[in-house]
Amino acid sequence: MNIAVIGAGTMGNGIAHTFAQSGYNVNLIDISQESLDRGINTISKNLDRMIAKEKITDSQKEDVLSNITTFTSLEEGVKIADLVVEAATENVDLKLKIFKDLDAATSDNCILATNTSSISITQIAAVTNRTDKIIGMHFMNPVPIMKLVEIIRGYNTSDETTATIMELSKKLGKTPVEVNDYPGFVANRILMPMINEAIETLYNGVAGVYEIDTVMKLGMAHPMGPLQLADFIGLDVCLSILEVMHNGFKNPKYAPCPLLVNMVRAGKLGMKSKEGFYDYSESRKADKVATMFT
């Protein structure tokens, strides 16, 4: 099976890495050669970490990298694909355009999957002529490590397509979970209100950043607190998902906290911008609470 991955960012390079490590030929596609170079460099560094932990050998690293070919042309990159996994920015207009282009550029039997964390699979499928072959394949970050894949069925996704993607996910060493197409699916429908409530708790002065995260880590056995997790995901991504859910359900419980909205407007996006609820200017670890919260 030939795999194409659209987008060489955090999720895209992680997905390409995972498929390549399982022995699949992967075409990694991005409009920016610079993004592709960064993506391959990230994969190489992640493989080096695996070598340091004696999980793979130098030879296996080279095999993984040799399974990945980069393209800046979508048409060239997907023309022989059996499965395309789209992992572009979480923007509905961009995704609709990509899927319209993919529908025209791929063979009729090619399955088109999206890594979207919240956007309707049915809506995406509607711009194609193969609604039975459109499916959500929502990987978790960091993709090479996290075992879960949410498999989201659109309204017209066929049983055959679903079964194929469920089985493929298992071959990647993942645990696929089938869910239906409603805003936020399962993971973000539960996770994002928790993150939003943690931000509301901070916004209302109930407790500070460190205190909120410590309660959830030590009291609820979460590996990281909700504010640190929001920084890791990206505050702009959290805001986008909450807006999709708020618009989709018309329920005020999904309305983004004003503090989250203002932080995104101010460019405080978390780890990616070196500041969110924590200060990452000196380290990628959440050791130092951002000045505005101290």
Q: For residue 15, what is the enclosing H or E element?
A: helix 10-21
Point out which residues pair with 180 in neighbouring strands.
Answer: 153
Point out which residues pair with 70 in neighbouring strands.
Answer: 28
> Among all chains, which residue has been given the structure tokens 């999709």?
244
- Dist CA 200 CA 206 (whole Å): 9
Joined together, the tokens standing for residue 142 give: 């960091």
Long-range contacts of 136-142 (CB under 8 A, 24+ apart): 136/181, 136/185, 137/85, 137/113, 137/165, 137/169, 138/185, 138/187, 139/11, 139/14, 139/15, 139/18, 139/115, 139/174, 140/187, 141/10, 141/11, 141/14, 141/232, 141/233, 142/14, 142/46
Joined together, the tokens standing for residue 62 give: 């080279």
> Is residue 254 within 8 Å of 188, Cβ to Cβ?
no
Sheet with strand 2-6: strands edge to edge: 68-71, 25-29, 2-6, 83-86, 111-114, 134-139, 148-153, 175-180
> Is residue 3 within 8 Å of 29, Cβ to Cβ?
no
Strand 175-180 and strand 2-6: the pairing is: unpaired
| Distances in whole angstroms, Cα of residue 53 to Cα of each of 57, 142, 146, 169 | 10, 17, 17, 25
Helices of type H across 126-208: 159-171, 187-203
**Active site amino acids:** 117, 138, 150, 188
